[in-house]
Structure 1
Amino acid sequence: MPSLRNVLNFQTGLGVLANMFLFFSYTFIIIGHRPKPTDMISCILAFIHMVLLLTGTDIWLTDIFESLNIENDLKCKTTFYISRVMRGLSICVTCLLSVFQAVTISPSSSYLAKFKYKLKKYMIYAFLFILSFNFSLISHQLLYSGAFTNVSVTKQMQVTKFCSLFPMNYIIWALILTVTMSRDVFLVGVMLATSAYMVIILFRHERQHRYLRSLSRLRASPEKRATQTILLLVVCFVVIYWVDFIISSSAVMLWMYDPVMLSVQKFIMNVYPIITPLVQISSDNRIINMVKSLRSKSHQIFL
């Protein structure tokens, strides 16, 4: 499957570069300007997606681990654990981004308005909870993943060239699946609810604009563009998440990962980490102006 392999490599390279650019752009904005509460979350999300893309590509990691003379078993456990943690953090931080944007644009008369001035404080607590929760929830991957040996003897499910998942007790598997599914359903539900709330707010401002025949503040402000961007990201995430969930569930139920199915799943998983930075970069005027400024300065230097 050299063609699929090349596509996955191209995806990973594009995604890592885009997320790296977004990460450094938001870092510069946070340090040198007056950042919005969602800038820090976007910066963290870019870092998470960089790590997620790198751990999801066996080819690059295999070369790195082999150069360090690290055993396959440790390599597999480390890769699986980090990759799964980053997947969990991706959905949690995307949900956090949606919630914080909903609070940011909420009218002063709403219940959410009283949380606006404490967003930074709540963000730190929320991220620490998300981090600890995901690290503990995914800890079973350290026990039930390892180097691939012989499928016919050990009943392992091979998921990469060198790595596999081991069968686990049905009760443990059901408990982990229930907790994971509860987390994901809850977070997707929150994202959909906050998205609907933001759509309602935007619709009210648009209607007010038409009625008053003047530009509303939200229409001309960066808040509207940021809200539309986050709505787009939430919709993309929800669609990609459920497609990935269907493929993963089918593979686990059949206890078999076809190489083509695995490649397709990786391709789908990589779409969201790639779309996110590209959409955010193209919709944030601060980053666009920063790029234009750097281009003009470099042009002046060469002249």
Structure 2
Amino acid sequence: MNKANRLYSNIHIRNTMYTVTGVGVIANAFLLLVHISLHITGHRPKPTDLPIGLLALIHLAILLINGFIASDIFIPGGRWDDLTCKLLIYLHRLMRGFSICATCLLSVLQAITLSPRSSCLARFKHKSSLHNLCFLLFLWVIYSLFSSHLFISIAATPNWTSDNFMYITESCSFIPMTFFLRHSLSTLLTFREVSFIGIMAFSNGYMVALLCRHKRQSQHLHSTSPSPVSSPELRATQTILLLMSCFVVMSILDSIVSYARITLKDDPIFYCIQILVTHSYALFSPLVFICTAKRIIVIFRYMWEKTVNISVCSGE
């Protein structure tokens, strides 16, 4: 099966893939270290700190696994066995599922944080990080149950050439499935994605409604009383809304590229584009958090000034 042979010599796709992976690993590692340092130094934790830290850790794992997958696409010679294919691809899908669940939790927590005291969501404001972690694990278990079919549908690529096997890497392929099984799995997976995106859309719509109401109150009432929505909450909400919009756009593009793969006879070029699309969120999200979080900007500025001072002193 030689569908990927043309990718070995495609320098532009290979360099883009490794650049995205490298930048994403550095950004997520930095974001994770910042949250660990904030926890160690005793800063007051926010409800969204746990999912943001977990997102950085999950995306770091996703990008590292993607590096192994990319090596089997762009570096000729290596061959994985059947068990390695199943474990790596399944682990990659589980980490992607964890990312979606953490993003969903982040959206819900910010909606709860932004909700007024009279709202029915106010009673969830003082839940501990342990409750949030349990809810995240509950979402992940539900999401993972829909991915268990990968242990059956993924196998090491056979030595003979066949157009019925869908390309994953040079060593791994999707086993051909019957029409009924393929469409049943597609229906279940679509239901899973729509359910999680629906939760995020509902929480985002709720946040937008609260922000619009707050804006109308600020413009028409001209009240001198303290604002029910503080500036840090506004910034955090705008950041999360930006992330959710990015996530939805990436999901739509992923679906379009997946459909293109099926209709255009599983072109491996489209598969590489799909990998870049699906991993762009893992690259984009830490950069957004780093650039918008005031605490992280202060820490980054301090580290930069310290590095400059050390270099100046060593030069003298």
Tell me, yes or no, whether TM beats 0.5.
yes
Match of 2:62 in 1: 52
Residues 54, 60 of structure 1: 8 Å contact kept: no
CA distance in 2, matches of 1:31, 1:178: 45
Mind listing any 5+ residue stretches in structure 1 that lack a counterpart?
none
Match of 2:231 in 1: 221
Match of 2:93 in 1: 84
Match of 1:243 in 2: 253
CA offsets 1:16-64 (integer angstroms, 9 cap, x no match): 111111111112223331111111101111111122223234566549x
Amino acid at match of 1:23: L
1:140 to 146, 149, 163: 149
Instruction: Give, in angstroms, the shift of residue 108 of structure 1.
Output: 0.5
Does structure 1 residue 192 correspond to structure 2 residue 210?
no
Amino acid at match of 1:16: V
Does structure 1 residue 276 correspond to structure 2 residue 288?
no
Q: Percent identity?
A: 37
CA distance in 2, matches of 1:261, 1:130: 30
2:12 to 3, 28, 44: 3
Amino acid at match of 1:21: F
Change (3 A) 1:201 1:153: closer
1:258 to 236, 245, 267: 267
What does 1:47-126 align with in structure 2 at a 5 Å threshold?
A: 47-58=57-68, 61-62=71-72, 71-126=80-135
Match of 1:21 in 2: 30
CA distance in 1, matches of 2:264, 2:144: 25
77-86 vs 142-151, which moves further: 142-151
CA distance in 2, matches of 1:163, 1:216: 59
Instruction: Give, in angstroms, the shift of residue 159 of structure 1.
Output: 2.4
Change (3 A) 1:216 1:105: same
Instruction: Give, in angstroms, the shift of residue 121 of structure 1.
Output: 4.0
Change (3 A) 1:29 1:205: same
Q: TM-score, normalised by structure 2?
A: 0.85
Change (3 A) 1:59 1:78: closer
Does structure 1 residue 36 correspond to structure 2 residue 56?
no
Change (3 A) 1:59 1:135: closer
CA distance in 2, matches of 1:275, 1:158: 27
CA distance in 2, matches of 1:108, 1:71: 56
24-33 vs 266-275, which moves further: 24-33
Aligned length: 300
CA distance in 2, matches of 1:216, 1:264: 49
Q: What's the Cα RMSD here?
A: 2.7
CA distance in 2, matches of 1:179, 1:59: 26
Amino acid at match of 1:187: F
Does structure 1 residue 129 correspond to structure 2 residue 145?
no
Mind listing any 5+ residue stretches in structure 2 that lack a counterpart?
1-9
CA distance in 2, matches of 1:23, 1:268: 23
Residue 44 of structure 2 aligns to a residue in which SS? coil
Residue 118 of structure 1 aligns to a residue in which SS? coil
Residues 94, 144 of structure 2: 8 Å contact kept: yes
Instruction: Give, in angstroms, the shift of residue 192 of structure 1.
Output: 1.2
Instruction: Give, in angstroms, the shift of residue 8 of structure 1.
Output: 1.1
191-200 vs 30-39, which moves further: 30-39
CA distance in 1, matches of 2:267, 2:163: 18
Instruction: Give, in angstroms, the shift of residue 165 of structure 1.
Output: 0.7
Amino acid at match of 1:273: A
Instruction: Give, in angstroms, the shift of residue 216 of structure 1.
Output: 5.4
Does structure 1 residue 293 correspond to structure 2 residue 302?
yes
Instruction: Give, in angstroms, the shift of residue 80 of structure 1.
Output: 1.1
Question: Which structure has greater helix proportion?
Answer: 1
Amino acid at match of 1:115: F
Match of 2:222 in 1: 212
Change (3 A) 1:7 1:39: same
Residues 45, 94 of structure 1: 8 Å contact kept: yes
Amino acid at match of 2:284: I
CA distance in 2, matches of 1:148, 1:217: 61
Instruction: Give, in angstroms, the shift of residue 231 of structure 1.
Output: 0.2
Residues 79, 171 of structure 2: 8 Å contact kept: no
Amino acid at match of 2:143: N
